[in-house]
Amino acid sequence: MPGRFDFMSLKGKITEDMKTAMRAKDSARLGAVRLLLAAMKQKEVDERIELTDADVLAIIDKMLKQRRESIAQFEKAGRTDLADAEKFEIGVLSAYLPQQLSDAEAAEAVAAAIKESGAAGPKDMAK
């Protein structure tokens, strides 16, 4: 039911991105998204589960690690064309990861938590 919820699951967003890439005839992006959808479907079938966003993020993280390893091997072998293809896929997959906090934002969140808990030192760590 479109419009019923203000959010879309990560799995739904990835499926919509596949359709968008198909309409745009963006074969490189379509290939990367289809690889991700295939990995997701494989996990669902193997484990007989419905994937949560956390499961999808774990799959993406694994795929990113594989691509980074491939890039190192391709560059070592002098295959920059294959390394570039893997780098493109990393860009597509990384777009689905949550935004990471900057160092300043993380420090600000920690300071706020310390202030809120009233902690004065390491002995107050449980707070």
- Whole-angstrom distance, CA of residue 19 vs CA of residue 25: 10
Per-residue pLDDT for the chain (127 aa), expressed as one digit of tens each?
344 444 678 999 999 999 999 999 999 999 999 999 999 999 999 999 999 999 999 999 999 999 999 999 999 999 999 999 999 999 999 999 988 878 888 888 888 887 888 777 777 776 6
